[in-house]
Structure 1
Amino acid sequence: MGRFSFLNLLKEVVGMLNESRKLFLKNKKLMFSVLVFSLLLNGLVYLFNILTITLEITNLTQHLKLLPTMDPSSAEYIALLMEVFADFGLFGVSSDIFGVVYFIINLLSVLVIVHASALTYNDENVNCKDFVVLSLKSWKGPLVTYFYICLFSLGYWLFFVTILFPLLLLSTASLISFAVVTCVLLVLFALFASYLAIVWYLSLVVSVLEETYGIQALGEAVKIAKGMKPKLLLLNLFFGLLIFGLAQIETLVSLVMSTFVVMFVLLTYTVAFFQCKGHHGQDVESLRDAEYTTLPTTSLIGALP
C-alpha cells in the first residue's frame, strides 16, 4: 500500500512539473522576456563576483603565503602585514556590497517571475509597461517576507554550526569519523531545510499575489500548504539536487541553467499556490485586487519587444 502511495505521489509531482512546463510555454514571449531579465541580473552578480571578490581573495591568498617566508622584524614584513589587513577590509566591504546586491536582484527576480506566472495562469493579458509597473508596485511585501526568510535561514544554519563546533572541539575520534558525522548532520539539516523551504517559497508567492507579508505571509503559507507538503518536499529535493549539481560547474552555462531552474522553482510554486488555494475552497480569481483586471487587455505578444 505504501509503495502505491509513493508511486501516486511521484505521479502528482510529475504532473505538477508538467503543468509548470505547460505554463511556461503558454506565454513564451512573456516567460522568455522574464528569463532574459533574470539572466541579465544574475550576470551582473557573476561579473561583480569575478571582478571584485574573486580578485581580492586571490590577492589576499598570495600575501598570506608570503608572510611566513619573511623576517617578522623587517620593514617589508610590516608593510606586507598592513596590506593583508587592507585586503581583509576591502574583502569585507565588497562582501557587504555583494550581499545587498544579491538580495535586491533575488527580490526583483521573485517579483517578475511570480507576477508573470500568475498572469499566465489566469490568462491575463498585459502590455510591457503595465507589467513593469505592476511588478514594481508590490515590492514592499516581498521585501519584508524575503528579509524574514533570510533571517530564519541564517539562524537555521548558525544552529547547525553551533552543533558542529562542539563536536569538533570534543572529538577524540579520527578525522575520518568526524567527517562522516559532519556529512550525516549536513544531509539531515539539508533535508529539513528542504521541508522548511516549502513555507518559505509559498510565503514569497503569497506576499507577491496577496496583501500579506512578513510573519503573516509565513503563517498563510503554513495554512495553505497542508495536504501538499509531501509533494512539495519531493519537488524541493529534486530542485535542490539539480541546483547543487549545477553549482559544481563554474561556467556561464551553469549560471544560465541555474537561473532557469530557479525560475522554474518559482513558477512551480506559483502553480502550487493556486492549487493550494483551490484545495482549501478559495476562489483563486478573487485573490488579486483590481490590479490585474483594470489593466489594458492589449495582447502581450504584440506589446513586448
Structure 2
Amino acid sequence: MDREQEDLQFLSFFGIFKESFRIIFSWTKIFSQITLTLILPLSFIYLAHIEISQLLFFKILHDKDALDHTQVGSTKYSNLSDIISSEWTAFWLFKFAYFTFFLILTLLCTSAVVYTIACIYTAKNISFKKVMSVVPKVWKRLMVTFLWSFAIIFLYHVVAVIVLVFWAIFLAQNTVGALMGVALLAFYLCGFVYIGIVWHLASVVSVLEDVYGIKALKKSKNLIKGKMGISIGMFVVLSIFFGGVEVLFENVVVLGLSPNVGITILVGIVCFLLVVMVILLGLVVETIIYFVCKSYHHENIDKSSLADHLEVYLGEYVPLKAKDVQLEQFQV
C-alpha cells in the first residue's frame, strides 16, 4: 500500500475499488494461493448448497403433494408421513452442516485476507505459509465477533417480527397504515444494512486490534462515522452483485430454465468464478475501508508496531494493542 496514511481518507467510492484492484493485481501470487485454498472451496460450498437445498426441498414438496392425494389413515399415508419427516430432518441437518463449514471457511478467508493486506501495508515479507500459520489463531477472535453480531441480528429480527405483527393486526387495513408499512420496511432495510456494515468492519478490527466481540462492534460503529455513505455504497453494490449472481445461478442452473445443457454448464462456471471474485474483492474492500476510516478520524497507525505484532508466529497470536493502532492524532 503505497499511499501515505493521511491520504487514505480522501479515497472516493471508485478510489477504494481502484485501490482494492491495485492491491490484488500487485500481489497476484499470494491472493491466488489464498483464493485456491480458501475462497474457491467457500464458493463451491455456497453454490452447491443452493443446488442441494433446492433438490431436497422439491422432493419434500413432491411427497407432500402425494400425501395430500392419499387417503388419511392408510398404510401409504403413514409411510409418506414418515418419509416426509425424515426428509425434513435431512434438510435441516444439511443446512446445519453447510452453515458450520461456510462459517469456518468465511472466518478463515477473512483472517487470511485482512492479515495479508496488513502485512502489505507494513511492507513486510509475506508468504502463503506465514499467512496459513497465523490464520487459525486469528479466526477464533473472529468467531466471538460473529457470535455477537449474530445475536444482535437475531434480536433485531425478533423486534422486526413483533412490529410486523402489530402492524398487520392494527394498521394494515387502511391507506395510512399501508404507507406506514412502506416506511417501516425502509427503516428495517436501513437498519439491516447498518448492522451488516458494522459487523464487516468489526471483523477487520478483531484481526488488527486487541478488541473483539462486542468491543470490536462498538469500535467499528465509531470508526464508520463520517464514512457512512461510502461504506453503505460499497456494501449495497457488492450485495446486489452477489445477489444477482445467486439469482442467475438459481434460475439457469438450479431450476434449469435454459433448455441448452451447454449454456447451463457455462452459466454455472461463470457464476462460480463471479462468486470467487466478489468474495475476494469484498474482503479486500472492507480492509481498505478500515484504513480509510482510521485515516479519516486521524488515528495514526504505527507501522513498526503493527509489523512487530504481525511477526509473532512462533507463539500464540498477539493482537495489536489499542495504543499501537491508535497512537496520537495527527493534524491534516
Matching residue of 2:291: 274
Change (3 A) 1:290 1:255: same
* 2:273 aligned partner: 256
Listed as ranges, the matches of 1:205-244 within 5 Å are 205-244=204-243
The one-letter code of the counterpart of 1:120 is I
| Pairwise CA distance, 1:89 | 1.8
Give, in angstroms, the shift of residue 219 of structure 1: 1.5
Q: CA deviation at 1:55?
A: 3.1
Using the alignment, how far apart are the partners of 1:182 and 1:263 within structure 2? 37
Q: 2: distance between equivalents of 1:184 and 1:258?
A: 32
Deviation string 1:160-179 (CA, Å, 9 cap, x unpaired) is 333223444557659xx97x
Greater shift, 130-139 or 245-254, is seen at: 245-254
Counterpart CA distance in 2 for 1:172 and 1:187 is 16
Q: Does the aligned pair in 2 maintain the 1:114–1:205 contact within 8 Å?
A: yes
What does residue 39 of structure 2 align with?
38
> What is the match of residue 299 of structure 1?
none
Query: 1:172 and 1:140, CA in 2 relative to 1: closer, same or farther beyond 3 A?
Result: closer
| Letter in structure 2 aligned against 1:235 | M
Aligned residues: 284
Q: Which consecutive residues of structure 1, in runs of 5 or more, have no partner in the other structure? A: 1-8, 297-305
Contact 1:277–1:284, Cα closer than 8 Å, also in 2: no
CA contact (8 A) 1:142 1:213 kept: yes
Partner of 1:301: none
Deviations 1:250-289 (A, max 9, x none): 1342233133223212211211212222332322415636
Q: Any idea what SS the aligned residue of 1:138 has? A: helix
Tell me how far apart the structure 2 counterparts of residues 204 and 216 of structure 1 sit (CA, whole Å): 11
* Counterpart residue number, 1:95: 95
**Counterparts in 2 of 1:192 and 1:259: CA distance versus 1, 3 Å:** farther
Query: Sequence identity of aligned pairs in percent?
Result: 20
Conserved 8 A contact 2:167-2:181: no
Alpha-carbon contact 1:67-1:81 (below 8 Å) kept: yes
Aligned to 2:68: 68
What is the CA–CA distance in structure 2 between the aligned matches of 1:248 and 1:10, rounded to whole Å?
35
Distance 1:10 1:194 in 2: 23
Which residue matches 2:114? 114
Report the CA distance between 1:153 and its aligned residue. 2.0
Distance in 1 between the 2:157 and 2:75 partners? Answer: 42
Any unmatched runs of 5+ in structure 2? Answer: 1-8, 250-267, 315-332
Name the TM-score, length of structure 1 as normaliser. 0.81
Following the alignment from structure 1 to structure 2, what is the Cα–Cα distance between the partners of residues 284 and 249? 45
Q: Which amino acid aligns with 1:268?
A: V
Kindly indicate whether the alpha-carbon contact (under 8 Å) linking 1:207 and 1:213 is maintained by their aligned counterparts in 2: yes
Q: Contact (CA 8 Å) 2:245, 2:275: kept in 1 or not?
A: yes
CA distance, structure 1, for counterparts of residue 220 and residue 16 of structure 2: 18
Equivalent residues of 1:274, 1:284 under 8 A apart = no
- Provide the C-alpha distance between the structure 2 equivalents of 1:81 and 1:181, rounded to a whole number of angstroms: 42
**Kept in 2: contact 1:13–1:231 (CA 8 A):** yes
Q: Quote how far apart the aligned CAs of 1:217 are.
A: 0.8
Alpha-carbon separation, structure 2, partners of 1:295 and 1:75: 64
Distance (Å, rounded) in 2 between the aligned partners of 1:232 and 1:148: 21
Match in the other structure for 2:301: 283
Matches of 1:121 and 1:90, distance apart in 2? 46
Residue type matched to 1:225 in 2? Answer: I
Q: Which residue type is aligned with residue 65 of structure 2?
A: K
Task: Report the Cα offset of residue 81 of structure 1.
Answer: 1.3
Q: Which amino acid aligns with 1:29?
A: K
Q: Distance in 2 between matches of 1:72 and 1:141?
A: 53
